[in-house]
Amino acid sequence: MRIHRFMRIVMLIWVGTLWPDGMPRAWAEMSKTETAEVPPAPVQALKPSPPPEAYSLVTATIAEGANVWLPSTLIVESGATVTLTLRNASQAEHGFAIDVLGVKEVLPPGGTKEVVIKPGGSGPLRYYCPIHKGHIGGQLFVHRLLP
């Protein structure tokens, strides 16, 4: 803000030294009536970037011993081949299931497994631990990109 004021004062002093009676009338009139027409920049439609083809899900113990798969929401494109790397970070056996896709895995403590899926359609698909009723699951949200 100070630099802006300073430059304005400098410009007024400079104009005053060139034209003690003020700016030439033609310039003053031109600055009032003529404006520069700047053509609008071309707008390009943004194409959404495709989501990654691989995700890692990890079991975690949260408040009061509740277990959860993290992240709790994944977003994938319909028809994409997606690799899910499942990691059981707890000291107990845990499962991972997505009923609609026929996925049902059991992971030993500290175990890791990869599951490859290719969801079709659109909408949320529930994933959960089929071994423990209290295990908090998540959702795999399948969407279609617009053409």
Flag whether pLDDT at 18 surpasses 60. Answer: no
Flag whether pLDDT at 76 surpasses 70. Answer: yes
Superfamily per CATH, domain 54-143:
Cupredoxins -  blue copper proteins (2.60.40.420)
Flag whether pLDDT at 46 surpasses 90. Answer: no
Q: Please indicate whether residue 31 or residue 138 has the higher confidence score (pLDDT).
A: 138
All structural domains of the chain with their residue ranges:
2-32, 54-143
Give the global pTM.
0.62
- Rg of the chain in Å (alpha carbons): 31
Give SS3 for 7. Answer: helix
pLDDT digits (tens, 9 = 90+) for 29-44: 555 555 556 677 676 6
Tell me how crowded residue 132 is: count the other CB atoms within 10 A of its CB: 15
Cβ contact 135:67 at 8 Å: yes
